[in-house]
Amino acid sequence: MHATISSVGARPRTFRWRVVDIVVASVVAVAAGVVFWVWGVVYNPISGPVTAVLPGFQGILNGPWLFAGVLVALIVRKPGAALFGELVAAIVSALIGTQWGFATLLSGVVQGLGAEIVFALFLYANWRLVPALLAGAGAGVGESILDLLYSYPGSKPEFAVVYTITTVVSGLIVGGLGSWLLVRALARTGALSRFAAGREAQKPVRV
C-alpha cells in the first residue's frame, strides 16, 4: 500500500518516489556535495584556532556537512530521502576530491541515517520545524559516533563530550534550522510548486 490520508480532507500522502522526486533530490544533493567539498577546503585553516578554544570544540564546524539529508527530506518527504541526500552529497564530494577519502562515504551514511531515523520516528508525516531541528541533531549524533571511533579513537571522555555536544548543536542549527529556512525560502520563489513543501509556503509557521 503506497498511500495514506494524512488528515481528514487532506490529499493522499504517498511514499512512492516520483520521477520529479528523484530528479530534484539528485540535483539538490549534487549541489550540497559541492558545498561539502568547499567546506572541506575551508575547514583546515579554521579548525586549528577553533580547537584551541577547547579540545573537541571543533565539532561546532561540522554543521555544513549535516544539512544535505535534512534538506532533501524536507523537500521530497519520502522514506529514504535523508539517507539519499546525504550519501549522494558525500559521493560527489569524494569524487571531486577530499582529504578524508573513503571515510567521506561512511560519514554520508551515518549522517543520513541519523536524520532518517528522526523522520521515521515521526512516521514521515511531520515536516515542521521541530522534526527538522531534531533531524539535524540526529545527523550530528551519527557523525559524532563515527568521528570518535574513526578519527579520534581513544580520546578522553571530556573531549568526546565536548565534541559530541558541539557537533549536535551545529547539526541542529545548520543542518536543521538552516535547511528548514532554505526550504521555505525556495518554496516562496515557486521552485517547489510540485511539492507539498511549496504548497505550504504561504501557511502560518507551525512547529
CATH of the domain at 64: 1.10.1760
- 3 belongs to a structural domain: no
pLDDT at 204: 58
- 187 belongs to a structural domain: yes
pLDDT at 3: 44
- 116 belongs to a structural domain: yes
Domain span at residue 124 reads 14-199
| pLDDT above 90 for 78 | yes
- 207 belongs to a structural domain: no
Instruction: Quote the number of domains for the chain.
Output: 1
CA angle 136, 138, 141 (to 5 degrees): 115
Residues whose CB falls within 8 Å of the CB of residue 188, separated by 6 or more in sequence, listed in order = 201, 202
| pLDDT above 50 for 8 | no
Pick the closest to residue 170 from 119, 136, 146, 127 (CA basis): 136
| pLDDT above 90 for 100 | no
Instruction: State the chain's mean pLDDT as an integer.
Output: 88
- 44 belongs to a structural domain: yes
- 191 belongs to a structural domain: yes
Q: How do residues 154-178 score in pLDDT, each as one tens digit?
A: 899 999 999 999 999 999 999 999 9
The label of the residue with cell 555536544 reads 165
- Alpha helix stretches (DSSP H) within the chain: 19-53, 68-76, 81-96, 103-121, 129-150, 157-170, 179-188, 196-199
